[in-house]
């Protein structure tokens, strides 16, 4: 029998992606959609769902959420915490898209707000399957990684012990990464035929990368004039003479969603999939690592479903799209 | 047991789309890929297939093609004819993407070349399922419609008997419609931040629309700065007082791949699917019909698989994507 | 001595374009920038002006505006009327970008709001120089045409007497045409890789086209995924056997800002200029006319300066950009 | 009297930009256009010039070129050398867009071909006005810098003495940077909604940056889905405690074409101009420098005209566009 699923925050881009994946998933069934205000229909917000998946969105209430086997919380930080603190007492598994359970309390509070659920913070598992698969299997509370940290850590962690000094991460994201809320930065006229960095060095995702890598990371995100996809270029100094591609191939040899490339990666080859494509090379002691993911999928919704697969004991690849939106 | 499928012309965009669909189809199995020269690998031409579907492409030979249950010919006109004339003597079903078997001989020869297989021309069925479903069920040779004619005819045919005088079709296509061959028109710098009509009135697809509709059609295609998708606006004069939306709803009420919209259509809601979305309204005697399809899918590859489903006796919707590439 | 110019509504896109043109104009000097709230700096709103043209924007007050020789009102309809009613008593010439003085009162009130300055309405001249040049020379109040009407009328009017029955206008505009105000339609993710019609038939600009042409026009505007530029395709039935290109060439033979093309027009060849490029052909009695303009320039700001040139007795082409933003 | 100018290589993008600038330049007059084959008309290659600047393009012959005061060679490397070797004996000033006279012979031959004009190599001046203004004043042969080196060196050189260890340059260019020649990389479908690095570390422009900066530079260029513009992010380690913005402001305080920004730069604010916008910040010892230019203008054609202005004794800013292509 299929597991019943609730999506809280169904109206955002990652909520819509989650619906798309789960509709084709053999083991999960979307039973209820929730949003903060409720009363909308998913096919009115995304007309593409018309005739495919039409459903009312309810106002999110704990009592209704607990009637499911699994809940995806695709809501902002702080809001997530308010749900989790209640849901942890109930018989339901939780995949949280927000930053609320990704960081140690000190780091979280420096970049976000006061943490009001420190008890559960220590119970959460960081959902990067390639590195925390065993812990994910048994957790009740999964902290789904951010898009920038996912794309950066998958390229950076294999080289952690060979790097000395500062690491520079030049990150580029499609506009969907900024979410559905109206703002001037994401207006067509602002970003079309343009590109710019924002929050250099001090972006919130930098602490997530630093904490998980233990490295001295300088993170500079940029907005790209594309809708979806993300590219990361990592620059660092090596303290050992290594073969970067060999290290990647060895590290990820059994991973179904990592592809090691022998030339620079591109965004379109991963758009629409859960793949993280990685390339690396060196020049003397200088290391260049280059990764690409779909920011909404591997950076959010497909990674969440992969984590849910692991939490439920299903095969990790079940129902996960692997065919890109090319050409 | 799955039916074995050959794709001739696997390296073009419609060939790549065909592969993507068939990989998720429960009843078909891609056994062999062919191209005119052979010797390539599909994952080298489209790196997105790396780790997902890796396969050598063979040089197309009749003897090898006939070893399959079904062949998709995704090749240019004239080339298709050369294959069909041989394959019609063999035990194989044929779905032809070219114009070679779509038109009566006189019309074909006016816009293309001399027809060298008139014997089989009369046996071919035009693969617009909403209008020729019964004939498709029993044919051995299916002429898959062009993208412009598909999007135009689905909007135009319901109104055929109510129209008088000339019909104007303002058509807009994404750049993938021009195919993979290098040319100046499809260079990024040419078409980005630009738009233009090409071959107005005299485009080859106009004869296909005229022949199938029996109407006096003026067809003006434009190139749009998007990769995939197509929008058609049809303008005509009505000779009767009708309710355009009601006529559409009645005509297509049981059709799984037509959605009648109560406001103008958009391209992204159909991109990645086999849907044709249609809207219509009138102003006095003036009729405006507005349709959108994915030019590579409903305009080629998913429509081809829908036709193959019908030819093989499968459910029409089997394995056909219906979730759009939004956001 | 240069004429002193005030711009009211300097923060919008057409205000910014006006500044760009006037900075290179030999006879006009921008003395004051105004906006509804004031207190901003133009180089903060448009960082591109940093180091080039830095100026505070004042809150618009009649008393300050009247200290100039000429004022451009780049403000919304209704707001314009409130300024004009006062300014008409003063010694200042007025170029109004809004719809307030373009239409006869009855038409205006049907599509906009109640007109509160009917006295001056009859004094305004419609600023399409190719058709109203003589009246423009002597007017104190110039109603600058809308972008859609400009591009449509320049293609349509030469054929007015040869057309019978309904006219269909398929219009496509870049996103800047929707202005700088945040809305979901103009978000990058909404319009990128997309296209759609909006307000078909009933768009406000349709009445301007109808009134000025006297024809039965069905106007369908679409939004295009480009920043600037506009393309119009006009479809109509002819009652006489004419040579469309010859009629255009004859009609516009002395016009400095009209170029007759012998193949379909493109947007990039006019972007950045005041040109209107026009192509036309027929098929039997069916007429196809195809025009392109820069929506912010010929559709607003350069046309306004051309009109100002004429009103001031300067050469019409003075200071008007004619070199496109290619490649 | 205006100086007479010849453009050799008028059909490429930088040739077209050169024409656009010179048409509005008070001291230069384009007397002759040349290309390798000749026989075309500039208004046929770029229809935007129709009615604005129509001129036949001649086959390039030394004897005809020498009849001008100044020649711009907008031709590929090696071809440039063949012209220069002859022209240096004549009474004409030369601005060369190619790499032929930018590098010391050893570096040139490692990345390009054998140098056949070493005699004149030592006479050439590298045309980065901010650093070589005095030499430019008196040279007969000007080597106009590459686009990537221009944007990189202007950001990097002010920090040269404060940097230790390897420098990482993450560079992003619009598609026009790849030139007008057809290739698969610059097809719309390839680069739209995509981004990728190419020739990482080993790109030809890396040697130009290394030679001129004397630093250990790792240069990684990427192609962006925009037509024009370039952004550079430089990452390095500092050996001293400096205030990066102060150093920039001091270094460039009198420069008319450098703007120091207090937040990250964007491409659109420089597109259409000769500006190089620069921002810098540090994080401990980690330095981040961020620059933007128009690749076709500051990266080629306007920088060439600035250099020509200096060579001819004109004011450096004469005829140089400084108003960006916003919005």
Quick count: other Cβ atoms within 10 Å of Cβ B183? 11
Name the CATH superfamily, with its identifier, for domain D148-293: Dihydrodipicolinate Reductase; domain 2 (3.30.360.10)
Q: What is the homologous superfamily of the domain C3-145+299-312 according to CATH?
A: NAD(P)-binding Rossmann-like Domain (3.40.50.720)
Closest to B203 (Cα-Cα) out of B299, B300, B112: B112
B23 at the A interface (CB within 8 A)?
yes
CA-wise closest residue to A22 among A293, A325, A308, A312? A308
Give chain D positions within 8 Å (CB) of C228. 327
**Touching check for D186 and chain C: CB below 8 Å?**
no
Is residue A276 annotated as part of the catalytic site, yes or no?
A: no
Question: Which residues of C are identified as catalytic?
Answer: 147
Q: Are A16 and B327 in contact (CB under 8 A)?
A: yes
Token couple for B174: 């994404």
| Residue C156 tokens, joined | 């349509």
Judged by CB atoms closer than 8 Å, whether chains meet at B259 and A51 is answered as yes
Domain ranges across chain D = 3-145+299-312, 148-293
Neighbors of chain C with 3 or more C-beta pairs under 8 Å: A, B, D
In angstroms, what separates the C-alpha of D177 from chain C's closest C-alpha?
Answer: 11
- State whether D233 and A226 contact (CB < 8 Å): no
Contact D279, D263 (CB under 8 A): yes
- Percent of chain A residues past pLDDT 70, beyond the cut: 100
Beta-carbon contacts of residue A289 (< 8 Å; ≥ 6 apart): A155, A156, A159, A232, A233, A234, A236, A244, A278, A279, A280
Mean pLDDT of the D297-326 span: 98
Residue of B nearest to C291 (CA): B196
Instruction: Quickly tell me which residue has 């602002």 as its tokens.
Output: A190
D137-D142-D144-D150 Cα dihedral, nearest 10 degrees: -40
Alpha helices in C32-73 (DSSP H): 42-45, 62-65
Contact C230, C140 (CB under 8 A): no
Is B2's pLDDT higher than 90? yes
Active-site choice (A22, A147, A293, A305): A147
**Which own/partner contact pairs does B18-22 have at CB distance under 8 Å and 24+ positions apart?**
B18/B72, B18/B74, B18/B301, B18/B304, B18/B305, B19/B49, B19/B53, B20/A323, B20/B301, B21/B297, B21/B301, B21/B302, B21/B305, B21/B319, B21/B320, B21/B321, B22/B305, B22/B319
Supply the mean pLDDT for chain D. Answer: 97
Partner C contacted by B89 (CB < 8 A) = no
ipTM confidence: 0.96
Which residue is catalytic, options B80, B103, B136, B147? B147
Q: Using CA of residue B163, residue B168, residue B172, residue B178, what is the dihedral sign?
A: positive
Alpha-carbon distance of C147 to C276, in angstroms, equals 11
Determine which of D186, D194, D232, D262 to mutate to test the interface with A (most A C-beta atoms within 10 Å).
D194
* Residues from chain C contacting residue B290 (CB–CB below 8 Å): 197, 200
pLDDT class for B216, splitting at 50, 70, 90? very high
For residue D202, pLDDT over 90 is answered with: no
Note the pTM of the prediction, 2 decimals. 0.97
Overall average pLDDT of the A119-136 stretch: 98
pLDDT at position D205 over 90: no
C211 min Cα distance to partner chain D (Å): 31
B261 contact C CB<8A = no
pLDDT at D252 over 90: yes
pLDDT surpasses 90 at A203: no
As a residue count, chain C comes to 327
C28-45 b/e (C-beta count within 10 Å ≥ 16 → b)? bebbbbbbeeeebebbeb
Q: Give percent of chain D above pLDDT 70.
A: 100
CA distances from C184 to A182, B86, C11, C190, C204 (A): 7, 55, 20, 7, 20
Which residues are A221's β-sheet partners? A171
Structure tokens at C219: 């106007």
pLDDT of residue A201: 92
Mean pLDDT in residue range A60-81:
97
Q: List CB contacts (< 8 A) between A184 and chain C.
A: 182
D235 and A170 in contact by Cβ < 8 A? Answer: yes
User: How far is C-alpha D315 from the geometric centre of its chain's CA atoms?
Assistant: 19
Cβ(D221)–Cβ(D148) under 8 Å?
yes
**H-state helical runs in C112-204:** 118-121, 129-138, 147-156, 188-191
d(CA D31, CA C7): 40
**Alpha-carbon gap, residue A157 to A164, rounded angstroms:** 13
Query: Does residue B220 surpass a pLDDT of 90?
Result: yes
Please give the helix or strand (H or E) that residue B94 lies within, else none: strand B93-96
- pLDDT tens per residue across all 327 residues of chain C: 899 999 999 999 999 999 999 999 999 999 999 999 999 999 999 999 999 999 999 999 999 999 999 999 999 999 999 999 999 999 999 999 999 999 999 999 999 999 999 999 999 999 999 999 999 999 999 999 999 999 999 999 999 999 999 999 999 999 999 999 999 999 999 999 999 999 999 888 899 999 999 999 999 999 999 999 999 999 999 999 999 999 999 999 999 999 999 999 999 999 999 999 999 999 999 999 999 999 999 999 999 999 999 999 999 999 999 999 999
CB nearest A16 (choices: B16, B275, B327): B327
pLDDT tier at D204, thresholds 50, 70, 90: confident
Q: Which of B187, B198, B226 to mutate to test the interface with D (most CBs of D within 10 A)?
A: B187
Q: Return the pLDDT at C204.
A: 87
Using an 8 Å CB-CB cutoff, list chain B residues near C268: 193-194
Over residues B152-177, mean pLDDT: 98
- Two structure tokens written together for D85: 């070797």
Q: How confident is the model at residue A102 (pLDDT cuts 50, 70, 90)?
A: very high
CB contact under 8 A, B176 and D189: yes
pLDDT for A64 equals 97
Tell how far CA D279 is from the center of its chain.
20
Mean of pLDDT values over D132-140: 98
Read off the pLDDT of residues D75-112 as tens digits, 9 standing for 90 and up.
999 999 999 999 999 999 999 999 999 999 999 999 99
In whole angstroms, give the CA distance from residue B209 to residue D185: 35
Percentage helix, strand, coil for chain B under 3-state DSSP, each rounded to 5: 35, 25, 40
Q: Is the pLDDT of residue A267 over 90?
A: yes
| Cβ of residue B47 closer than 8 Å to a chain A Cβ | yes
Task: Spell out the residues 6+ positions from residue D264 whose beta carbon is closer than 8 angstroms to its own.
Answer: A196, A197, A198, A200, D279, D290
- % of chain A at pLDDT higher than 90: 98
Q: What is the pLDDT of residues A268-316, one digit of tens each?
A: 999 999 999 999 999 999 999 999 999 999 999 999 999 999 999 999 9
Which residue does chain D place closest to C53, by CA atoms?
A: D323
> Which chain D residue has its CA at the smallest distance from C20's CA?
D323
User: Do D284 and A166 lie within an 8 Å CB cutoff?
Assistant: yes
Q: How many helices (H) and strands (E) does chain B have?
A: 12, 14
CB contact under 8 A, C192 and A175: yes
Contacts of D1 (CB under 8 A, 6+ apart): none
pLDDT value of residue A83: 98
Q: From chain D, pick out residues whose CB is under 8 angstroms from the CB of A196.
A: 231, 264-267
Residues 208-237 of A with CB under 8 A from C: 225-227
Between CA A30 and CA A41 the distance in angstroms is 14
What does the DSSP 8-state code read for residue B159? G
Buried b (16+ CB within 10 A) or exposed e, A265-280: bbbbbbbbbbbbbbbb
> Across chain B, what does the average pLDDT equal?
97
Query: Residue B225: what pLDDT?
Result: 98
Across D265-281, average pLDDT: 98
Q: Which of D16, D185, D188 to mutate: most B Cβ within 10 Å?
A: D188
Partners of residue B193 in chain C, C-beta under 8 Å? 226-229, 267-268, 271
Number of A to D CB contacts under 8 A, please give it. 127
Strand partners, B72: B7, B95
Taking the Cβ of residue B325 and every Cβ of chain A, the question of whether any pair is shorter than 8 Å is answered with: yes
Prior bond of C327 cis (ω within 30°): yes
Interface residue C193 vs chain A (CB under 8 A)? yes
Question: In this complex, do C46 and D322 lie within 8 Å of one another by their Cβ atoms?
Answer: no
Decide if pLDDT at A262 tops 90. yes
**Cβ burial, residue D76 (10 Å; 0-12/13-18/19+):** middle
pLDDT confidence band for B204 (50 / 70 / 90): confident
Q: What are the chain C neighbours of B151 within 8 Å (beta carbons)?
A: none
Mean pLDDT across chain A = 97
- Range scoring the smallest mean pLDDT among A21-30, A161-170, C197-206, C254-263: C197-206
- pLDDT number for residue A205: 87
Give the one of D193, D200, D233 whose C-beta lies nearest to A288's C-beta.
Answer: D200
Distance CA A20, CA B324 (A): 9
What pLDDT is stored for residue C322 in this prediction? 97
Question: Which stretches of A199-243 are DSSP H helices?
Answer: 205-213
Q: What share of chain C is helix, strand, coil (3-state, %, to 5)?
A: 35, 25, 40
Chains that touch B (3 or more CB pairs under 8 A): A, C, D
CB-defined contacts B:C, below 8 A: 127
Nearest CB neighbour to A201, from listed D229, D231, D288: D288
User: Could you tell me which chain A residue has the CA closest to the CA of D279?
Assistant: A197
**Cross-chain CB nearest to D323 (options C52, C270, C296):** C52
Contact across the interface for C187 and A189, Cβ inside 8 Å: no
Give catalytic residue positions of D: 147
Q: How far is CA C222 from CA B170, C191, C233, in A?
A: 12, 11, 12
User: Chain D contact for B181, CB < 8 A?
Assistant: no
CB B110 within 8 A of CB B103: no
Whether D290 contacts chain A with CB within 8 A: yes
- Residue-level pLDDT at C159: 98
Please tell me the distance from the alpha carbon of residue B149 to that of residue B156, in angstroms, as a whole number: 10
Chain-centre distance of CA A256, in angstroms?
A: 17
Compute the distance between CA of residue B156 and CA of residue B161 in angstroms, rounded to an integer: 10
Task: Give the pLDDT band of residue B203 (cuts 50, 70, 90).
Answer: confident
The reply to whether residue B323 touches residue A20, judged by beta carbons under 8 angstroms, is: yes
Q: Could you tell me the pLDDT band of residue B1, with boundaries at 50, 70 and 90?
A: confident
**Nearest-Cα residue of chain A relative to residue C188:** A188
């Amino acid at each position: 029998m299929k597991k019943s699923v609730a999506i809280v925050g169904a109206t955002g881009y990652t909520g819509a992606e989650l619906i798309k994946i789960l509709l084709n998933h053999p083991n999960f069934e979307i039973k209820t959609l929730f949003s903060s205000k409720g009363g909308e229909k998913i096919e009115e917000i995304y007309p593409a769902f018309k005739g495919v998946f039409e459903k009312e969105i309810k106002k999110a209430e704990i009592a209704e959420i607990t009637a499911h086997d699994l809940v995806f919380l695709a809501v902002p930080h702080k809001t997530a915490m308010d749900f989790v603190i209640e849901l942890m007492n109930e018989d339901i598994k939780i995949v949280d898209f927000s930053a609320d359970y990704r960081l140690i309390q000190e780091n979280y509070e420096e970049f976000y707000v006061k943490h009001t659920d420190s008890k559960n913070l220590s119970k959460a598992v960081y959902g990067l399957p390639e590195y925390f698969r065993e812990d994910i299997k048994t957790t009740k509370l999964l902290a789904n990684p951010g898009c920038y940290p996912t794309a950066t850590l998958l390229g950076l962690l294999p080289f952690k012990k060979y790097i000395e000094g500062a690491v520079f991460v030049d990150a580029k994201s499609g506009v969907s990464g900024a979410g559905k809320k109206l703002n001037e930065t994401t207006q067509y006229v602002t970003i079309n035929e343009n590109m710019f960095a924002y929050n250099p060095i001090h972006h919130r995702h930098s602490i997530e990368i630093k904490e998980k890598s233990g490295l001295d990371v300088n993170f500079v995100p940029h907005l790209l004039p594309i809708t979806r996809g993300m590219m990361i270029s990592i620059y660092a100094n090596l303290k050992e003479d290594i073969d970067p591609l060999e290290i990647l191939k060895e590290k990820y040899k059994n991973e179904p969603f990592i592809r090691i490339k022998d030339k620079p990666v591109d965004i379109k080859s991963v758009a629409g999939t859960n793949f993280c494509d990685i390339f690396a090379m060196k020049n003397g002691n200088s290391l260049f690592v280059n990764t690409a993911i779909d920011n909404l999928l591997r950076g959010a919704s497909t990674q969440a479903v992969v984590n849910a697969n692991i939490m439920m004991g299903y095969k990790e690849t079940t129902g996960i799209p692997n065919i890109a939106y090319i050409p």
